[in-house]
Structure 1
Amino acid sequence: MDQFEKLRPVGRLEKYSTARHQVGFYLNLAVAATYKLPKSFTLPVEDYVLRALASVIAQHPSLSAIPAADETQDPYFVRLPTIDLDKVVQFTQREHGIPKDAPLESGEISPDLDLEVLLQKEHNTPFVAPNPYWRLHVLVDKQDKHRFTAALILHHALGDGGSGKSFHTSFLRALQTQAASDVETPHSVTSPENPMLPNIEEIHPMPLSLWFLAKKIFQAKVYAPRDPALWTGSKIQPPTSTRVRLVSFSQGMVEQLRKVCRQERTTITALLQTVYARSLFKHIPERYSKLNCTGAFSTRRFLPDVIKEDSMGVFVADIEESYTRSIVAPADSTVFPWEEARRSRQTIQDTLDRKGADVGPNLLKFVNNFQEELCLSRVGQDRDKTFEVSNIGVVLSTSAPDQPSIQGMAFSQCASVMGNAIGVSVVTGGDGCLVLAISWQEDIVDDELIDASIQSSRDELRQLAGY
């Protein structure tokens, strides 16, 4: 990589992802959006996609960067001089067509089977230098030439789930300027010269209280007994082989769930955590009475002004929560435990109120060998987390009828070899529909358990929404 311009060192949080990718323990994340073009857009979809993409690359320098020396403890970013759009963009014809809009009285909408297949394939495909560490896979429909689905596949060292939202916001703005048909469609773009944004350690102190640090050191170095009642799937074992399921809920049902959450003084994210915990308890052996849950949230809200809400980079921290069977899913009660959902909401709020203090990424300063200590040394051990719920929120699309707009969206992640046994990634698109992407590692969690937990979650959410 000596022929490429050196940009800056890879930060510790970014290094966590370069190490995981390098040893094959976590490959990528994806954020997909379905776009609707107005009738005035008469060129093939391919032209509009490439034109808009060239504009997005010019706005976000991380899309021109790849990590170098990622097998070492001192990786750094280099800038690719050009991006060959024909190599990073793939167009695929849909087999099942774009799912039809659900009627307002329906609680669910048909799953996007073509997107599900695409995501599962992409989540099992690593990045290889010196190619860009992102891809755009576009699903087109011969029956509807004015709608397409674009899935951004992204290395986690270049961006987080919020970065995927930012990409699509920028892509939509770029599309809205592409109505003129006399603009030449690019197939290669020169990378922007502006520098990458700083990593989070450069702009945030990432503090650790003595109590938090002492607890973590004690658990890591002295004594951390494994709770035999904790269920976390099978032991940590590579290689990763990701499975993906998409579950979609209609705008009407989502609005009802939000209304109920407001009445019960909780949030959609806290509700989903509690519902999924209850669903797992219904289908795992009764000897397991505890589940550990994590979540991720964007730290952009309390970073300096150099980082905007729509910046692409890795600006996240974690939330930890646990659930016990006797409280969340007692055998003698069918009443939903709203108190648990409120407790979960308070845990999230307490973590946000710390503004980046006492969270997992702050401990990375004590790691000497990221590949060995965080990944390889854990093979054969029990994992300590059950499932993750990461909600990147709502993507608004307030376009005029004669402008391109975003409709449905999906956010998904590959399975994590040493992380949570199950991932639940959440986003709400411009159509108001909420989509869950459930991912898991083949042979670590049984497919039957995933199917059963999804069905139980679906049934309970419909009941809570009054459908």
Structure 2
Amino acid sequence: MDRISPEVLLPEKLRYLGKLEQFSSARHHLGLFRSVGISCTFASSDSLSDSSIRHLVFAAVSKLLHLHPTLSTTIINEESNNPYFVRLPSIDLEQVVKFVERLTPIDPLSGSDVELDTLLSLQHNVSFPIRQVQWKIVISSHSQFPRLFTMSLFFHHALADGASALIFMRDFHTALNAVTTAESVPHTFIPIPAAIPQTLESLCSPPTLPTKSSSDTKPSSATSTSPGTSNFRSLALSPLTTTALLQTCKAHSTTLGAVFPVIIASAILRSSPSLSTECVIPINLRPYLGIDGDSIGVYYDGFSVSLPHGEINWDAARKVGSDIKTHLEGVKEGHINVLKFQKIPDMIEMFRHRENKGGFDVSNLGRAKPGDEGKWEMARCTFNRSAFVGGGDFTLGIVMGRDGWLSLGFAWEEGRMGREVMEGIMGSVRTVLEEVVGRSNSV
């Protein structure tokens, strides 16, 4: 029998990580930031058994792995200054897709889901194993409603960004409507030899390296490089409230993405006035750099705005909107803040000396786009993530589901922000929203 060369058994080396990708791989290695995620609820017009749903989910995920080669990669040498992607020889879907039974049914008319929040918190505190798949899926459902399940996707931030999460869910929706229970689905997927997307840096030529990033903020606390524990809580605004909020924003010549930083700053004033109101706003770069809008990868920038300590201020909201527009105009000219990472020779060492920053992040994904129509419908979505040790005091992720509910997901680090403090901020956010839309019973 011929002997197989050892090189044949090695994973296929694809490319080195770009500096923006290294920003996340270093954080993951140190346990400072573990994952980004999105949860979407899907409802079928047909009644299905648990085994049928399991079969359809595996079939749909298999189609996505063919569609997005990035999902078939892992990261080697994450602990070094030269991490790189390799293609996995195979993926065992049984290991990365888990099914759990909910204790309580999904309530499509409730503005909160404590059971889902608990699941998300737990998953965001687990790092991805070395040299293995860097994403995972948890399907949660209740036997009382066999036509309904929630898919929660978690992924390494060096593989994908928030916009990628929506791309994944849209394509999963299309695949779910295309597969049948009659299809034969092997639970071990063999990746195809396809190229993965380029780095952000390679698409920005010639690069413009800012001498000072507008996302830099003054440190508010001591250096912390110890792995942190994440907490996550969400609240959702009804379609009625969401519509009223959008109309109010339009009436004041601003947008949802511009007003939420101001709403959060107002809520901080009411509940925790000692906290910073410096806000970092991530931006999806795909539409501005000619990047394929269907590409799963890491293509975002970020900038900060200083918000006044005060009650809701529409001038401040319009100023945030103007700042977003100005930043995007700069992006078109090549002025991208995250390109400054190219100046950092040792990303891990940088994080070991990085000081915690105050303030907060507001990341708005917009409205989730559905896939091709069929028996399955996409409904509520929740954008979620780990807390970032060394980042802001907390983060807010916003996404509107296909059911019209607007989800607000808050993540914070245990011990740095007390639960009672975050509950106070979230309660104040509710109050401010009630005042903004003038409907005290609809939030």
Query: Normalization by structure 1: what TM-score?
Result: 0.87
Q: What corresponds to 1:333 in structure 2?
A: none
Q: What corresponds to 2:195 in structure 1?
A: 195
User: 1:57: Cα distance to partner?
Assistant: 0.6
Partners of 2:48 and 2:298 in 1: how far apart? 35
State the AA in 2 paired with 1:77: F
Partners of 2:316 and 2:206 in 1: how far apart? 29
- Alignment deviations for residues 399-453 of structure 1 (CA, whole Å, 9 cap, x no partner): 65x5211100011110101111101011111111110110000011121111011
Partners of 1:389 and 1:262 in 2: how far apart? 20
User: 1:38: Cα distance to partner?
Assistant: 2.1
Partners of 2:88 and 2:400 in 1: how far apart? 33
Partners of 1:70 and 1:242 in 2: how far apart? 21
Q: What corresponds to 2:322 in structure 1?
A: 346
- Alignment deviations for residues 260-287 of structure 1 (CA, whole Å, 9 cap, x no partner): 111111111111110001111222256x
Q: 2:43 aligns with which of 23, 36, 40?
A: 36
In the comparison of the two structures, how many residue pairs are matched? 430
Partners of 1:161 and 1:440 in 2: how far apart? 18
- Alignment deviations for residues 379-407 of structure 1 (CA, whole Å, 9 cap, x no partner): xx4x334100001111133765x521110
Q: What corresponds to 1:442 in structure 2?
A: 414
Whether 1:258 aligns to 2:246 is yes
Partners of 2:362 and 2:418 in 1: how far apart? 19
Q: 2:32 aligns with which of 16, 19, 25?
A: 25
Q: Secondary structure at the match of 1:153?
A: strand
Q: What corresponds to 1:416 in structure 2?
A: 388
Q: Is the 8 A contact 2:266 2:432 kept in 1?
A: no
Q: What corresponds to 2:3 in structure 1?
A: none
Whether 1:322 aligns to 2:306 is yes
User: 1:216: Cα distance to partner?
Assistant: 5.2
Partners of 2:433 and 2:206 in 1: how far apart? 37
Partners of 1:433 and 1:206 in 2: how far apart? 42
Q: Is the 8 A contact 2:41 2:148 kept in 1?
A: yes
Q: Secondary structure at the match of 1:354?
A: helix
Q: What corresponds to 1:391 in structure 2?
A: 364
Q: What corresponds to 2:293 in structure 1?
A: 309
User: 1:145: Cα distance to partner?
Assistant: 0.7
Q: What corresponds to 2:124 in structure 1?
A: 123
Q: 1:243 aligns with which of 223, 228, 231?
A: 231
Q: 2:278 aligns with which of 265, 277, 292?
A: 292
Q: 2:347 aligns with which of 367, 370, 374?
A: 370
- Alignment deviations for residues 54-74 of structure 1 (CA, whole Å, 9 cap, x no partner): 000110011001111111111
Gaps of 5+ in 1: 102-108, 330-335
User: 1:208: Cα distance to partner?
Assistant: 3.1
Q: Is the 8 A contact 1:158 1:313 kept in 2?
A: yes
User: 1:140: Cα distance to partner?
Assistant: 1.4
User: 1:83: Cα distance to partner?
Assistant: 0.7
Shift of the 296–31 alpha-carbon distance from structure 1 to 2, 3 Å rule, reads same
Shift of the 63–245 alpha-carbon distance from structure 1 to 2, 3 Å rule, reads same
State the AA in 2 paired with 1:119: L
Gaps of 5+ in 2: 1-6
User: 1:115: Cα distance to partner?
Assistant: 1.3
Partners of 2:170 and 2:243 in 1: how far apart? 23
Shift of the 257–41 alpha-carbon distance from structure 1 to 2, 3 Å rule, reads same
Q: What corresponds to 2:4 in structure 1?
A: none
Q: Secondary structure at the match of 1:355?
A: helix
State the AA in 2 paired with 1:297: I
Partners of 2:294 and 2:327 in 1: how far apart? 22
Whether 1:283 aligns to 2:271 is yes
Partners of 1:14 and 1:407 in 2: how far apart? 31
State the AA in 1 paired with 2:43: K
Q: What corresponds to 1:332 in structure 2?
A: none
- Alignment deviations for residues 364-388 of structure 1 (CA, whole Å, 9 cap, x no partner): 1110110011x1112xx4x334100
Partners of 1:99 and 1:234 in 2: how far apart? 42
